[in-house]
Amino acid sequence: MLSEVLLVSAPGKVILHGEHAVVHGKVALAVALNLRTFLRLQPHSNGKVGLNLPNIGIKRAWVVAKLQMLDTSFLKQGDVTALTPEQVEKLKEVAGFPEDCADHEHLAVLSFLYLYLSICQSQRALPSLDVTVWSELPTGAGLGSSAAYSVCLAAALLTACEEIPNPLKDGEAASRWTEESLELINKWAFQGERVIHGNPSGVDNAVSTWGGGLRYQKGKISSLKSVETSAAGVKPVAGRSRPPALKILLINTKVPRSTKALVAGVRSRLLKFPEIVAPLLTSIDAISLECERVLGEMAAAPAPEHYLVLEQLSRGQGGHRTSTSGRPSRNRDLSPSGAHRHEPAPSECPRCGPCLAGPAVPDLEQPEVEAMKQALTSCGFDCWETSIGAPGVSIHTAASLDAPVRQALDGL
């Protein structure tokens, strides 16, 4: 068991295109978002294991000796397999939760306990440690906050228990794990996600682990321009092209939505109007493929016309989304150029949960960007200026983190 403090971060994600069509076998593109979740793991010898999640107001602690005495034989050492519903109920007993608890706050604690008890079984005794996780990502917004949480937990616990080597060398500010280590991190993170979501696709944790961008089609995940692999174990190809680090405006519309209801709505319309909806799904697929092609070109040599194409594709996706899902959201143009004009129009940017992501035009001056953000804020939206194509899970020195992040992790 390592004795040093570990500082880990992992990115969120946005789905650029194909979100509603992916369940019908079409391509969806997901990219890492440079809003990150940060974790601090502090080993100690006080006989307790603690979890602090300041974003959602959770602070829990368990006596290690009591955890050691509980029957956790259902968690087999090194067994990276999904928990059965019966095993989840047993885990709730270990946590001291009621059987009917299913809110995300309780499930986040269960995910931590599952990963801690499973990964740390390799030690002679369960270790005493404190884990604090703080995130720049809003929860419940479709931006992969739970996946980033699970990836950070898996990476930190595996490293602390020396199941994978610490990649951070003397003199380095930050580092990333080897492909072999990332595969193991991703497998455990996927199981942590299953505790929270039940049956996730594996896209969110894969994007958070490897960063960059991924395509998803018919249950298969692959790096952009790479060979397909299984959802829970993506193996990026050496020398693969990464999407460019594009600046975006991320907008939280605060309009709630149910993914389950939207998917059901698309399926209903497809059955009722197959001659109309099927071509729309094919068109959405074409938008995803064209976006993938453009991002590939931009990775090699970005040009101004690429940004125009991306914005045009975003507008096209918005129209198709309204036609297939029957849900226009707010009838306002939330693309950067539309927000800058302050003109209402029935179009949307790529959507994740209640959030929209619009590509920022590269030649805009910062005052213009600030004017856009102010216009969006005045409409009641939250707005972040960030980028996509971010690096995946990483380990850091304290000095490499911004002061607000260090303060959040230190509980100040």
Helices (H), ranges, 175-258? 179-197, 203-210
| Alpha carbon distance 242, 108 (integer Å) | 31
Which among 200, 191, 177, 178 has a CA at the least distance from the CA of 13? 200
Catalytic choice (9, 118, 128, 146): 146
Q: How far apart are CA 329 and CA 27, in angstroms?
A: 23
Question: Which parts of 3-84 fold into alpha helices (H)?
Answer: 64-69
CA-to-CA separations, 136 to 8, 33, 364, 385, in angstroms, rounded = 14, 11, 25, 12
Q: Which helix (H) or strand (E) holds 382?
A: strand 382-387
Query: H or E element: which one contains 281?
Result: helix 274-300
Q: Which of 118, 145, 150, 204 is catalytic?
A: 204
Closest CA to 76 of 90, 65, 64: 90
Alpha helices in 301-325 (DSSP H): 304-325
Task: Determine whether 333 is an active site residue.
Answer: no
* Range list of H helices, 17-98: 64-69, 85-95
What ranges in 125-273 are assigned the alpha helix state H? 145-160, 179-197, 203-210, 259-272
Decide if 145 is catalytic: no
Residue 379 amino acid letter? C
3-state helix, strand, coil in the chain (%, to 5): 45, 20, 35
Phi, psi of 41 (to 5 degrees): -110, 120
Residues assigned a catalytic role:
146, 204
